[in-house]
Structure 1
Amino acid sequence: MANPAFSTNPAFNGKGTPAVPTPSAEQLQTQFELPAAPDPAAAAPMTVDGTVRVSLATFGVLVAGAAIGWVTLPLVPFLWIGAGVVGFVLALVNIFKREPSPGLILGYAAAQGVFLGGISAFYEMQWPGIISQAVLATLSVVGVTLALFASGKVRASAKATKVFLIAMVGYLLFSVINVFVMIFGGADANPWGLRGSVELFGIPLGLILGVFAVLLGAYSLVLDFDFIQKGVQNRIPKKYQWTGAFGIMVTVIWLYTEILRLLAIARR
């Protein structure tokens, strides 16, 4: 039985059931033309400050992993090798993933940190003082490149990027060949492969290629900074701050390892 209080209320049709007004055609058209509710993610665009904060967080994880790799080298000698493999796989996953994943990027930073810590400890045992030199040299390259980019004196261009990609493919091909020379060259082979056994005008090939690789790394940083700058200007979603931080981290790690090898060959 319907409640009498509702039955006498005109809003309930006098039958105890709520009255549902039928909207007019004009009302339906007005509701259809209303703008959609704003997406919170789209309302928060990528910023330089946000990218810097994310980058500092990823590099903090990298340094923590490096400390673990450095300390554990005498205890677990091959931990850094396994971490390097894991870091390489995570790098490929992050590169080919359509959208950035903070968890995967932080996982990459941790794995690569352990790898860098282990290999740095190994180099330091062979050539004392080389790590501080490599760190200072890497920071110098990053700082100079950032200053030149911020001042507008260095910019990414389509032609320069095409040359960069061709040079990168050539350098990668040489590196693969050199790895095979180091593995199958026999006990008397130079530990640096072609980098140490081949000389041009009395200069080891490794030193020339090392300088070349540092220049490639510097331009790669320019591309990273250019991506961040254009992302901020175009107000792309905030999540791509992680993409910018990942790109910078990959380039800085590559720069550091190249400079470390360059110094080792120079001090052989």
Structure 2
Amino acid sequence: MRSSNPVFSRRGFSRDNGYAGFNTAPQAGGAAVGTQGNPYAQPQAGSPYAQNPYAQNPYAQQDLQYGAPPQAPATTGRMTLDDVLMRTGATLGTLIVTAALAWALLPVDDANISRSYGIGIGAALIGMVLAFVQSFKRKASPALILTYAAFEGVFLGVISSIVDNRIASGAAMQAVLGTMAVFAAVLVAYKAGWIRVNRRFVGFVMAAALGFILLMAVNLLFAVFGGGDGLGFRSGPLGIVFGVIGILLGACFLALDFKQVEDGIAYGAPREEAWLAAFGLTLTLVWIYMEFLRIIAILQGDD
């Protein structure tokens, strides 16, 4: 399970057929369907257990006899939902603390806004580099993930303070509430089965996200070299439209995150994978928050 977010490559999507066991489940009497694309499936060829499929679990043969699905070995090194919740809480907690400190210690009045904004952008660039490094690492690095969260928090604190104090009063809290609402809605829809994360869903989301990111990159280039708002995709009426699209994409990525966590627990992923789940969820929530903040700034800034 690799780290996930709307910008960087999704975790687990580079295995064999391009998917990480989506729409698969443990099957009775054998390996999971589509285990070749599932990073948590039990190894077969070349495995020390290949000659004796019951070596890991002395009760596996009995389970197969009575049609019970194979269970992940009951060891303390397997990822659980509590592990994911604790790591996500630690990552988001670090981000929130540094955001609050940046808000309080970096003033955005006329005399200090340039300095504070520069610090925020610098923190964003450092956070981006750290996120790239973690995304390409084969294993989770808790220190790297928490450091990323700290720098990302500084950036969010500065940007939120600027928008809240100079453009749209109360925008930061509204963006937080909107992000929480999206998270809760997607979680309920996913658990109720209203969102089915299968290969078609993954392909659509990835294609839409790639197109969205490329379009925003082109808009940024026009803004840098041409000045103003570039092609206008991030301001005015078009900015609102693309902000809504960004939130919908973030919601789709939340569903992918939930599926990856579910698969990781079902197939007995190592406990350290919980840090990658926390990393992916944090990236996605930051994405959604920033889109909400942008929409609120555009709507209230035009008043």
The interval holding the TM-score normalised by the smaller chain is: 0.7 to 0.9
Q: What corresponds to 1:245 in structure 2?
A: 278
1:195 matches 2:244 = no
C-alpha distance after superposition, 1:55-107 (max 9, x if no partner): 11111101111012212322651211111011000110111111101010001
1:56 matches 2:126 = no
How far off is 1:53 after superposition?
A: 0.9
Q: What corresponds to 1:99 in structure 2?
A: 139
Which residues in structure 2 correspond to 1:193-232 (within 5 Å)? 193-196=232-235, 204-232=237-265
Contact 2:222 2:230 in 1 (8 A): no
Contact 2:234 2:243 in 1 (8 A): no
Contact 2:239 2:295 in 1 (8 A): yes
Partner SS, residue 268 of structure 2? coil
1:109 matches 2:158 = no
Residue correspondences, number: 224
* % identical aligned pairs: 38
Q: Distance in 2 between matches of 1:42 and 1:108?
A: 30
The residue type paired with residue 139 of structure 1 is M
How far off is 1:218 after superposition?
A: 0.3
Which of these residues, 184, 189, 195, is aligned with residue 148 of structure 1?
189
The residue type paired with residue 88 of structure 1 is M
Q: What corresponds to 2:161 in structure 1?
A: 121
Which of these residues, 221, 228, 231, is aligned with residue 180 of structure 1?
221
Q: Distance in 2 between matches of 1:106 and 1:190?
A: 33
How far off is 1:155 after superposition?
A: 2.5
Contact 1:181 1:193 in 2 (8 A): no
Q: How high is the TM-score relative to the length of structure 2?
A: 0.70
C-alpha distance after superposition, 1:26-73 (max 9, x if no partner): xxxxxxxxx89xxxx964210001110111111110111101221232
1:138 matches 2:179 = yes
Detail structure 1 runs of 4+ shifted over 6 Å in the superposition. none
Q: What corresponds to 2:52 in structure 1?
A: none
How far off is 1:166 after superposition?
A: 0.9
CA gap of 1:136–1:88, structure 2 versus 1, over 3 A, is: same
Q: Give the root-mean-square deviation of aligned CA atoms.
A: 2.2
C-alpha distance after superposition, 1:87-143 (max 9, x if no partner): 000110111111101010001110101110010001012211111111111110011
Partner SS, residue 235 of structure 1? coil
Q: Distance in 2 between matches of 1:191 and 1:173?
A: 14
1:169 matches 2:210 = yes
Identify the range of structure 1 (87-96 vs 71-80) with the bigger mean alpha-carbon deviation: 71-80
Q: Distance in 2 between matches of 1:85 and 1:133?
A: 25
Q: What corresponds to 1:3 in structure 2?
A: none
C-alpha distance after superposition, 1:157-184 (max 9, x if no partner): 1011111111111111111111122223
CA gap of 1:46–1:166, structure 2 versus 1, over 3 A, is: same
Identify the range of structure 1 (67-76 vs 53-62) with the bigger mean alpha-carbon deviation: 67-76
CA gap of 1:180–1:239, structure 2 versus 1, over 3 A, is: same
| Unaligned runs of at least 5 residues, structure 2 | 1-54, 57-73
Partner SS, residue 130 of structure 2? helix
CA gap of 1:101–1:63, structure 2 versus 1, over 3 A, is: same
C-alpha distance after superposition, 1:233-255 (max 9, x if no partner): 00111110001110000000010
Partner SS, residue 272 of structure 2? helix
Q: Distance in 2 between matches of 1:135 and 1:195?
A: 20
Q: Distance in 2 between matches of 1:177 and 1:98?
A: 31
How far off is 1:193 after superposition?
A: 3.2
How far off is 1:192 after superposition?
A: 8.2
Q: Distance in 2 between matches of 1:243 and 1:196?
A: 33
